[in-house]
Homo-oligomer: A and B are copies of this chain.
Amino acid sequence: MVMQEGASEEQIDRVIDALVRMRLAVHRSTGVSRTVIGVVGNTGAIDPASVEILDGVHEVLRVSQPYKLASRAFTPDDTVVTVGDVRIGGDEVIVAAGPCAAETEEQVEATAAAVKRAGAKLLRGGAFKPRSSPYAFQGLGEEGLQMLRRAADRHGLPLVSEVMDVAQIEVVSRYADILQVGARNMQNFTLLRELGLVRKPVLLKRGISATIEEWLLSAEYVLAGGNRDVILCERGIRTFENATRNTLDLSAIPVVKKVSHLPVVVDPSHGTGRRDKVVPMARAAVAAGADGLLVEVHCNPDQALSDGAQSLYPAQFDDLMGELRIIGPAIGRRVCVKTGSGLKAQGSGPTEGSELKAQGSGLAEGSER
């Protein structure tokens, strides 16, 4: 707390009193032109503005981060979230792919088969869709979840699906392996608090106007409830630029990696809103150090009921996966190593080369980050 130049003793005493009332330890340091008052204690609960407004206070500067469980200071080692045999935040970059929304059994199956073939490790797909307009398609609900679950099972892919509301937690949990919180709900604190009590990983998208600090505070709500499996997901922030739907903030990746131990993935589909921008930004996200991607793929995007414009064709997704596998070694990581019953790896043609390459740098992965 920095006092104004020439603040009176009385003003300084009044500030110290206010801080003591808040049960904080106070340490005064009197400088030549200004007095600075240091404060120790549970400052996370204090609004700096409430002190800044006191007479004679020039500025209040926060020294420690307002979140704790989400901070790397508290947990120095990277958190790895495990779902089945998929490890998010480890040495492999994990790609989740699938349709924006489940529409029909055939569409879900065709898309799931395609993304599995290309090497995706998770199936993503929505059954409850938040839409700006009340007149837009809102998802199939539980029926959609059933379609997604069946396809997930058929292809051995854990399922990520969105939960919009406390009331939906129960039904979505029954079908999905990872519960996604959408950008618009990033500060739906009731929902976050409930998800802290759930025993499934939570994928928390960043709100389009949320600072990284607020995003981590929202993660803190879930963590504080006892659920330590939080995956952060950058999906673009709102800026003045309208050439893309949002501005994908890839710098958030190294920033989060420094201050937090939580894995961070990127959704280039919602972040750009245009198919022809998804591929370059997906590559960029991996190159910037993302632990994974969430990519919309649709077996027939031109007829999708929602977000068709940003869904990749299966062949585009397959090409993208090949490109990502080339990038992997640049960051000392593998990207969606093909596994399955050996059969799959054989038929992969051009991408097999990149596998070889990944093997080549096999030593590398031991040490990263």
A→B interface (CB under 8 Å) = 2, 4-5, 18, 21, 27, 29, 31-32, 34, 36, 38, 40, 42, 44-45, 47, 49-54, 58-59, 61, 63-64, 66-67, 73, 130-137, 164-167, 184-185, 187-190, 193, 207-209, 211-214, 217-218, 220-221, 224, 237-245, 247-255, 258, 271-277, 280-281, 283-289, 301-304, 306-310, 323-324, 326-327, 329-331, 364-365
Instruction: Note all chain B residues with C-beta closer than 8 A to A27.
Output: 29, 31
**Nearest chain B CB to A17's CB is how many angstroms away?**
10
Are A49's CB and B251's CB within 8 A?
A: no
With A248-B251, A283-B288 in contact, is A36–B53 under 8 Å at CB? no
Q: How far is the CB of A164 from chain B (nearest CB, A)?
A: 6
Contact status A250-B248, CB under 8 Å: yes
Structural contact, B247 and A237, CB atoms closer than 8 A: yes
| Chain B residues closer than 8 Å to A187, beta-carbon distance | 130, 132, 184
Pair A281/B251 contact, Cβ less than 8 Å:
yes
A sample of 30 inter-chain contacts (CB < 8 A) reads A18-B302, A27-B31, A29-B38, A34-B63, A34-B64, A36-B63, A52-B274, A53-B275, A53-B276, A53-B308, A53-B310, A61-B63, A67-B133, A165-B166, A166-B166, A166-B167, A167-B167, A208-B209, A209-B238, A240-B240, A243-B251, A247-B251, A250-B281, A254-B281, A283-B288, A283-B330, A284-B287, A286-B287, A326-B330, A329-B365
* Cβ-defined contact, B237 with A44, below 8 A: no
* Contact among B52, B188, B277 with A185 in the assembled complex (CB-CB below 8 Å): B188
- Are B244 and A242 interface neighbours, CB within 8 A? no
State the CA gap A188–B191 with chains docked (Å): 11
Q: Are B53 and A309 in contact (CB under 8 A)?
A: yes
With beta carbons under 8 angstroms apart, the residue of B44, B164, B193, B207 that contacts A133 is B44
Among residues of B, the one whose C-beta sits closest to the C-beta of A249 is B247
CA gap between A199 and B299 in the complex, in Å:
44
Which 9 residue pairs are nearest across A and B when measured between Cβ atoms?
A209-B209, A49-B309, A287-B287, A326-B330, A284-B284, A284-B288, A283-B287, A184-B187, A53-B309
**Given known A-B contacts A54-B302, A327-B327, A255 and B243 have beta carbons under 8 A apart:** yes
Do A50 and B134 touch across chains, with their CB atoms under 8 A apart? no
Query: B59, A63: Cβ atoms under 8 Å?
Result: yes
A268, chain B: closest CB distance, angstroms: 9
Who on chain B is nearest to A212 by CB?
B243
Residues of the B chain whose Cβ atoms lie less than 8 Å from the Cβ of A34: 63-64
Distance, CA A276 to CA B52, complexed state (A): 11
Q: What is the CB-to-nearest-CB distance from A332 to chain B, in angstroms, rounded to a whole number?
A: 9
- Residues of chain B within 8 A (CB-CB) of A274 are 49, 52-53
Q: Indicate which residue in B63, B132, B212, B258 contacts A2 across the interface (CB closer than 8 Å).
A: B63
